[in-house]
Structure 1
Amino acid sequence: MAQPDIDAVVFDVLGTLVDEPAGIRAGIRALDPSLNDPRVEELLSLWQRHVEGAQRLVLEGGRPYLTSDVLDLEAARLVADAVGVGDETAVAALARAARRLPPWPDTVAGLARFAERLPVLGLSNASRTALLEIDAHAGLRWHQALSAEDVRTYKPDPAVYQLAVTVSGRPPERLLMVAAHAWDLRGAQAAGFRTAYVARPVGDPPTTADHFDLYATDLTDLADQLDKSA
């Protein structure tokens, strides 16, 4: 793909730019420092299953839209109940762990490199408030960050990707969606975007049926590929 074909780069946030499980693990350990690693992983899985299932229900029309803040609080309450913690202050503190997510080592410098020559957008299922705090904690720098809250649904609903089209003022085929989740890239691809998969330990790897425009080991590799094709 030639770099001039791209007018803007759109980045997924959770998992792609920040290590979401690491932040939630830290919150679980703070809730109950006596937990061993296998138990922490069980509780992390409980959290993730709840949020993923709730978002799926919203997409399927099985429950009304609720922001990621509400879903994280629900998940935090499930985790707290599982370890016998009933203090609502502790539950609220655990829910906020979903906003204190460390960036991957290449993220901050990688974003800066892209932003030197192209408009850079974030596009996340996180709420507006959560996205603000995630960005601030991780040191993410955008030209603009967009939340699925603005259309009251979740990726991969086409309405979320349309946010980037509308804000950028560019047709989808001139936008490059970057994500560590194949399901997210499939949604962007269906909306007409160019796509780039970036491998992360917590991502959703492509299958043999997927055909994305670019595949990269990290943001540095992706930027190098675009440089070479320019």
Structure 2
Amino acid sequence: MPELEIDAVVFDVLGTLVDEPAGIRAGIRELAPSLDDPGVEHLLSRWQRHIDREQRRIVDGTRSYVTSDVLDLEAARLVAEAAGVDDPDAVAALALSARRLPPWSDTVAGLARLAGRFPLIGLSNASRRALLELDAHAGLRWHQALSAEEARTYKPDPAVYRLAVTVSGRPPERLLMVAAHAWDLRGAQGVGLRTAYVARPVGDPPTSADGFDLHADGLADLADQLGVGT
């Protein structure tokens, strides 16, 4: 494969650089300490289904745009109700767990390595406020962090990916979108970005029909493939 000619790297955040389920799982345990592991996983799945469904409705135009903060609070209320908790303060604390997400073990060092060669752009469905807090919590390094809130929609709406194109001032084919979610990379491809899939335990793996430019086991492998020195 010819070497990619890339001017900037665009990163998905949730799931790709931080372990989103782990952070929410920790919040559920704080909410209801007596829950066993299957109970926690059931409530985590309930949270995730709500977020996925409501973001799709917004992208499809069947629901007016609301920020990820609103969706997280809705999900927290559903989970708390299912757990038999009706304390508003506890619900609010659970909602904020979506901003306290641990980075993957290679995230911080990998971003630092790549930042020595490329401008790095974070592109997340998280709101501006949530993105600021989760970046600070996880120690993420950016040259620019962009929230889908700027486009008042969610990925994979093309408008979100165009934010990165506009901010970078470069043609889309000179940007490399990195994500652990095949659906996210397909959205980026639709706008003309180059794509790199990074395997994560919580990601959405490619299918045989996907044709992404790069496949990496982690950020160190990605940096190697892009010719970035240690």
Q: TM-score range by the shorter chain?
A: over 0.9
| Partner residue, 2:180 | 180
**SS of alignment partner, residue 95 of structure 1:** helix
Deviations 1:130-155 (A, max 9, x none): 00000000000100100000010000
| Partner residue, 1:208 | 208
Cα distance in 2 for partners of 1:27, 1:220 equals: 30
Q: How much has 1:60 moved relative to structure 2?
A: 1.0
**SS of alignment partner, residue 227 of structure 1:** coil
Cα distance in 2 for partners of 1:177, 1:224 equals: 16
Cα distance in 2 for partners of 1:197, 1:117 equals: 19
Deviations 1:173-227 (A, max 9, x none): 0000000000000000111000000000000000000010000000000101111
| Partner residue, 1:25 | 25
Cα distance in 2 for partners of 1:117, 1:212 equals: 22
| Partner residue, 1:128 | 128
**SS of alignment partner, residue 9 of structure 2:** strand
Cα distance in 2 for partners of 1:110, 1:169 equals: 24
| Partner residue, 2:45 | 45
| Partner residue, 2:169 | 169
Cα distance in 1 for partners of 2:125, 2:101 equals: 15
AA at the equivalent of 1:188: A
**SS of alignment partner, residue 215 of structure 1:** strand
Cα distance in 1 for partners of 2:163, 2:219 equals: 23
1:108 aligns with 2:108: yes
What's the TM-score, normalizing by structure 2? 0.98
Cα distance in 2 for partners of 1:145, 1:112 equals: 15
Percent of residue pairs bearing the same amino acid type: 78
| Partner residue, 2:16 | 16
Runs of at least 4 residues off by over 2 Å: none
AA at the equivalent of 1:113: R
AA at the equivalent of 1:128: R
Deviations 1:151-184 (A, max 9, x none): 1000000000000000000000000000000000
| Partner residue, 1:93 | 93
**SS of alignment partner, residue 226 of structure 2:** helix
Give the root-mean-square deviation of aligned CA atoms: 1.1
1:146 aligns with 2:150: no
AA at the equivalent of 1:162: R
| Structure 2 gap ranges (5+) | none
| Partner residue, 1:219 | 219
1:2 aligns with 2:3: yes
| Structure 1 gap ranges (5+) | none
AA at the equivalent of 2:158: P
